[in-house]
Every structure is written in C-alpha cells, then in structure tokens.
Amino acid sequence: MRTKGRLVLSFAAAAALAAIGSHLIEGVPAAHRLTAQAVLVSAVAVCLVWWNVVAPLDQMAAWLKAVRLGAEGRPPAPDPAGLLGPLVHEVSRLGQSLSEAKAAAEAEARLRAAGASEWTPERLKAEVSRALGGRPLCVVANREPYMHVRRGGKIEVLTPASGLVTALEPVLTACGGTWVAHGGGDADRETADADGRLPVPPEAPRYMLRRVWLTAEQEEGYYYGFSNEGLWPLCHIVHTRPSFRPEDWAHYQAANAEFAKAVLAELDGVREPCVLVQDYHFALLPRLLKAARPDARVGVFWHIPWPNPEAFGICPWQRELLDGLLGADVLGFHVQAHCNNFLETVDGALESRVDWERFAVQRLGRATLVKPFPISVDAPPPPPAGAGSAREAVRLAAGVHAEFMAVGVDRVDYTKGLVERFRAVERFLERNPAYVGRFTLVQIAAPSRTHIKRYGDLNAELDAEAARINARFAAGGWSPLALRRRHHGRAEVLPFLRAADLCMVTSLHDGMNLVAKEYVASRSDDDGALILSRFTGAARELPEALLVNPYDVDQTADAIHYALEIPPLERARRMAAMRKTVREHNVYEWAGRFIAELARVRVREGGHARALV
Ligand code: GDG
C-alpha cells in the first residue's frame, strides 16, 4: 500500500509539474514549442526516476556500506517504499542478517579467547544463556544479598557478612534472574512490593530479590534452632554439640514448604526452569520442588562440610534430610572428600544404589549426581592510585601503631578459630620479643547469630582473651590485638586486606573459606603472606599458603614469624602462584561449571506442575 501510495504521489507530482509546464509552454513561440515540450517531458522523467530509483538506491548503498563497516548502533534501514520497495526490503533484511551474524561471530570469538584464559561476567552470562536456552535463573538462599535495616530513624541497605552472599551476588548480577530469600531486615517489608519483590542492587538493578516472610517462631525454630544449633555444628567437626529438638524440626519442615511455595510461584509459566538451592537450610526443598515440577532442573550447593556417616548419623532425621537432598539432579560440595562422606552416608542410611564410578545415587527411579565444585570469589575493583600511602592511611585510621599488621576477617563463629588465633599471636610475641611493639593483628569480626547462647559465650570469651593478651603486652599506645567487632561494609574490608603484611585464616573446620581467596585476589602488588588452616577447603587449592593446624598454637605462632621474615622473592613467588589459581578459578567458573552440569541433565519434558501436598 505504501509503495502504491508513493508511486501515486510521485505521478501526481509529475502530472502537476507537467500541467504547470504545459501552461508555461503556451506562452512559448510555436517554432520552439516542440523543443520546450521535449525538455519538459525529460525533466518530469528525470524527477520520477530520481525520486523512485536513484534516491532509494543511494540510500540503500549508504546503509549497506555502514553495515559493512560495522557502524556503531544499527543505521536506519532505507524506506522500502517506491518502485524498488520489495528489493529494498529484501536487501535490508539481508544486511540485517549479516550484521547479526557478525555480532554473533564476534561474541563467539570473544568467548573462545576468554575460554583460553579467564571466566568473566560476560562469558558466564553468555554460557548460562546458551546452556539454559535463555531461561531465567532462580536461586534460593536463606540469606538475602541486600537487607534493609532501620538505623537512627533512617533506612539503610546492608550487605550481610556471608560467604554465600559474597559468592552468589556477582553471579546473579552477571546473569540476572531471581534470588528468593528470607526477608530478615526490620525495614525489609516497607522496601519491597506487596509480593515481597524488589529489583536489586538498589543503585543499579540487575536482578529480582523475592523476600519470603517468616514468623518470629519459624525463624527461631528453622534458622536458629534446627539449622544453626543442629546442622551447623553437626557438619563442622569442632566439638560443639549439636542440639536436635522436635519442635525445631517441625519449623524446619514448615519453612522449607513455605520457601517451596514462593519458588514455585516464581517458576510459574517457565518451562523446564533451573533452580539453584543454596545450603543446609533447605535440605528438604529439592524433593518438594521436584514433586511439584518434575520438568525443573534442581541443583543444590552445600556450602559447609559433610561429615563422616557416624557423625551425620547423630541427626534423628538424617533419612528425611538425605531423601530431600536426593530430590536434586546435581548436588555440589566444595571438595571430593565431602562428596565421598555424603555418598557413604547415603549408602548406610537409605535404600539406594551408589554408583562410585559416576559419583551418583540412583533412588526411586532417578539419579542425583554428586560432584565437587570449589567455590571462589570475584576480582576486586582495582586499587586506588597511590596505594603506598593508602596503606599507611588504613593503619592510622585503624589506630594501628605498629610496623607490621596482620588481618583477620570473619563472622564471629566458633568454627573460625578466633580464640586459637589470638593465642597464637600471644605465643608469637612470647617467643619473639623483638616484635613486641611492632606487630598488631586487626581482627574484623562481624557479629553473627548472636541470638544463640554458644555465640554469646564465644563473644565473651573473645573479649576476655583480647583484653588479657593486650594487658600483658600493650605499651605506649600500642597493643597486639585490635578487635573491631561490628559489621563492616564491603568497601571497608578491602583496604585492610590490601594493607596487611599477612592474613590469618585459622578455621577449625571450614567448607571453603572465601576470606583466604579474597586476600589473595586483593594483592595486585604480589605482596603479603597467607596463613591458612589445613582444615579449610581453600587449603587444597592454595598449597603455597603457610598451612597450619590451628589447634597447634606453637605451629601457628611460628607461621606468623615465618610470614614476617620470609625472603621477599619467596613471598612474591607464593603470592603470584596463589593469585593465578584464584584468577583462573574464580566464582564465574564455579557458577558456569555447576550450571553447565545441571543443564546436561535430562528432565521429564513438558512435566506438569503438581500441587504441593
Ligand atoms: C560459608 C562457609 C564457604 C566478613 N565480615 C564481614 C564481611 N565478611 C565477608 C568476608 C567473606 C564472607 O563474609 C565470609 O565468607 P567465608 O567463606 O569465610 O565464611 P561463611 O560465611 O561461613 O561461609 C564457607 C562459604 O559459605 C561460601 O561457600 O567458603 O566455608 O562456611 O566474603 O569478606 N563482609 C562484610 N562485612 C563484614 O563485617 N560486608
């Protein structure tokens, strides 16, 4: 219609031109009238050809050239009206296909180049989108990445101190999707919509946070009780006795069902969705999700260790927990030893077939793959210019009047070996009096689970130990221990890592420990030394660290001494090797490998949603 319209218009204009011309020609002497008419007809023909053929061809040529040269942004395609309309239309489609193919080839080349070296957010995004056929990711974790809290009449956003948040946040930021979590902040409700949803990160939204509301009793029983007084000490061999109470177990079941409802609502309308369930708070969730959505791909990542079968057997509901977890298609741990412990636990407790060659469990006609996926961190932002003076500024701002500074960054948790760390500093000073007045350990200590008595006791013990050791050595404004017990923003932690001569990670047992990796990742100067407990997952990946048994206070004290006196070349060699490991095996690789494994799973196609019972 448009082509016809333009043609009609151009002929009408030509007719008008011809009429005006004819009128003018009437005044021309008869001898020249024929010549004038010929000129008029030619002029009209030239106009028609220019308007309907030459101009569109010029426009098309310019557009094709711009496409060929890869113009920034796509140049506007020529108007397909006029005589050449159909041709313009086809050529413009061809040009568009060309530029799309070019963009795809460039992305592919970028991916291949990146594949040879590093995982980046862009690569993860591209690989996840390809693996999941563009379906959105859904992550479920108890902890939310952004918590709104009321402070002094104002609402503040807080990033909780949590290894899980450190690892998962960059993944969701890169890939988009939804993060389902407990809304635990006292201003969480008023900052979300009626369904508990809000786009995050608050300053530049990239994905959706869906908050789940729990009652105070539910939180007490499911989170503090069953999860943190039961499963947490059960899985960490640190000789803190787990407590299992039937009423907590009932809340744990109810909370898992509550989260299942929220997740299923998020999955509504998505065919073969992909859900990543995080951690020990949700052992029952995989089975619940799979029962309602057999077409879903469900992965679980267990962020803490899995103990041997005898230790796990303490839990009165071990069979229910195992059965729940085996609802997943893929179950990930940090290290192979935890996978082996899990498989042995299943072997002894449930009727099932453990396939030790594939590391899989066959049960109720389904398979669950059990594999190690060592978690990691994202690269930190580049250090500010003049890092040397920043180092002094950090020490002065922290009130550290010492030549050497060590740092520790932990949630205050009895698994982190904080008391042992303080005692190692004491022993180091006893053995090396030349360092008295010259060495300070800055301990960043984020309060955690303060509701639980064991954590209250630990805080009191830490205070008492720090006070005792400081009283013993402090002099002239210097003290050996600077205990900073408050939540620090992420941006506050990084300068400490960059400024410290050594970092102390002395966990008594730890799934991975991301602080070790964060310290290494922050040292773009290849300086600094890492003291690392042998009982962390990280120790298996970072053998160049100074590995210690944190129960052996003398050994840790000697490691502090060695870290301070280590020849500079040796220190740089160790740090460079660890940095290479963390760079090559970052959190994007972790997520990419886990999701790729999950995407390979064949699910029941077109499985229909079933109501939860
Ligand atoms: C579990 C497993 C596993 C610490 N204080 C503050 C703060 N942090 C950050 C650290 C680090 C994270 O919290 C702690 O990570 P970890 O890995 O050390 O430990 P968990 O929280 O126990 O994590 C652990 C991890 O899950 C991941 O799978 O490695 O084994 O126990 O990122 O920097 N962050 C902020 N303020 C603080 O005061 N913002």
Ligand 1 pocket test target in 281, 411, 448 with most atoms within 8 Å of CB: 411
pLDDT band at 19 (very low <50, low <70, confident <90, very high): confident
Quick one: fold of 121-377+591-599? Rossmann fold (3.40.50)
| Distance set, CA 174 to CA 119, 314, 335, 350 (Å) | 12, 40, 25, 39
Å from CA of 409 to ligand 1 middle = 8
Whether the pLDDT of residue 3 is over 50: the answer is: no
Mean pLDDT of all residues in the chain? 90
Alpha-carbon distances, residue 326 vs 171, 302, 356, 471 (angstroms):
25, 13, 16, 53
Residue 607: which pLDDT band, with cuts at 50, 70 and 90?
A: very low
Q: What separation in Å is there between the alpha carbon of 512 and the centre of ligand 1?
A: 10
Could you tell me the two tokens for 208? 């959706």
Distance CA 229, CA 459 (A): 16
Global pTM reads 0.81
Place 50 in a pLDDT band, splitting at 50, 70 and 90: confident
- The pLDDT score that the predictor gives to residue 608 is 43
User: What mean pLDDT do residues 365-386 have?
Assistant: 92
Ligand 1 pocket (Cβ < 6 Å) reads 159, 161-164, 166-167, 303-304, 375, 409-411, 444, 446, 487-490, 493, 510-515, 518
Mutate to test the pocket of ligand 1, among 276, 409, 443 (most ligand atoms within 8 A of CB): 409
**What's the CA-to-centroid distance between 514 and ligand 1, angstroms?**
6
Q: pLDDT-based confidence at 25, cuts 50/70/90?
A: confident
504: confidence class by pLDDT, cuts 50, 70, 90:
very high
Could you tell me the distance, in angstroms and rounded to a whole number, from the CA of residue 564 to the centre of ligand 1?
Answer: 26
Ligand 1 centroid–CA 439 distance in Å is 25
State in Å: Cα 405 to ligand 1 middle. Answer: 21
The more confidently predicted of residues 75 and 536 is 536
Q: Judge if the upstream peptide bond of residue 121 is cis by omega within 30 degrees of 0.
A: no
CA of 555 to the centre of ligand 1 (A): 25
Q: Length of the chain in residues, anyone?
A: 613
Give the model confidence (pLDDT) of 285-322 as tens digits. 999 999 999 999 999 999 999 999 999 999 999 999 99
- Ligand 1 pocket, mutate which of 156, 234, 281, 303 (most atoms under 8 A from CB): 303
Residue pLDDT, tens place only, 388-426: 668 888 988 889 999 999 999 999 999 999 999 999 999
Using 50, 70 and 90 to split pLDDT, how confident is the model at 110? low
pLDDT at position 609 over 70 = no
Determine what percent of the chain falls in helix, strand and coil, rounding each to the nearest 5. 50, 15, 35
Q: DSSP string of 271-326?
A: SS-EEEEESGGGTTHHHHHHHH-TT-EEEEE--S----HHHHTTSTTHHHHHHHHT
Q: Where are the domains of the chain?
A: 1-71, 121-377+591-599, 387-585
Q: Which tokens hold the place of 115?
A: 């594949």
Q: Which secondary structure element, helix H or strand E, spans residue 581, and what is its range?
A: helix 568-584
Nearest-atom number in ligand 1 for the CA of 505 is: 18
Q: Whose alpha carbon is nearest atom 14 of ligand 1?
A: 163
Checking if the pLDDT of 88 tops 90, the result is: no
Residue 496 confidence (pLDDT) above 80: yes
Q: What is the pLDDT of residue 334?
A: 98
On the question of a common fold for 121-377+591-599 and 387-585, the answer reads yes
pLDDT of residue 1: 40
Residue 432 has pLDDT above 80, yes or no: yes
Residue among 584, 404, 422, 572 nearest 499 (CA):
404
Q: State the distance from the centre of ligand 1 to the C-alpha of 578, rounded, in angstroms.
A: 19
CA of 561 to the centre of ligand 1 (A): 26
Q: How far apart are CA 162 and CA 151, in angstroms?
A: 21
pLDDT digit string, tens, across residues 474-488: 999 999 999 999 999
Does residue 502 sit in helix, strand or coil?
strand
Residue with CA at minimum distance from ligand 1 atom 20:
163
Whether 101 has a pLDDT exceeding 70, the answer reads no
Cα of 166 vs centre of ligand 1, distance in Å, is 7
Alpha-carbon distance 279 to 165, whole Å?
11
CA 47 to ligand 1 centroid distance, Å: 75
Band (pLDDT 50/70/90 cuts) for residue 384 is confident
Q: Tell me the CA–centroid distance for residue 513 and ligand 1, in Å.
A: 7
Q: Which atom of ligand 1 is nearest to the CA of 510?
A: 30
Q: Within 10 Å of residue 129's Cβ, how many Cβ atoms?
A: 15
Ligand 1 centroid – CA 77 distance (Å): 52
pLDDT of residue 230: 98
Could you tell me the pLDDT band of residue 58, with boundaries at 50, 70 and 90? confident
Which residue did the predictor score with more confidence, 170 or 63? 170
pLDDT confidence tier of residue 374, bands split at 50, 70 and 90: very high
Q: Does domain 387-585 have CATH number 3.40.50.300?
A: no
Give the DSSP letter string of 148-182: EEEETTEEEEE----HHHHHHHHHHHHH--EEEEE
**Confidence check: pLDDT of 497 > 50:** yes
Residue 238 has pLDDT above 90, yes or no: yes
81 versus 224: the higher-pLDDT residue is: 224
If you take atom 18 of ligand 1, which residue's CA is the nearest one? Answer: 513
Instruction: Judge whether 82 and 88 are in contact, CB under 8 Å.
Output: yes
| Mutation choice for ligand 1 from 513, 585, 590, CB with most ligand atoms inside 8 A | 513
Nearest to 289 by CA among 310, 275, 278: 275
Residue type, 351: E
What distance separates the 2 farthest-apart alpha carbons in the chain? 125
Contact 431, 561 (CB under 8 A): yes
Mutate-to-test residue for ligand 1 from 143, 162, 412, highest number of ligand atoms within 8 A of CB: 162
Ligand 1 atom 7 nearest Cα: 161
Higher-pLDDT residue of 105 and 572 is 572
pLDDT for 613 equals 32
| Residue 560 scores a pLDDT above 80 | yes
- pLDDT, mean of residues 501-520: 98
The residue whose C-alpha atom lies closest to atom 36 belonging to ligand 1 is: 488
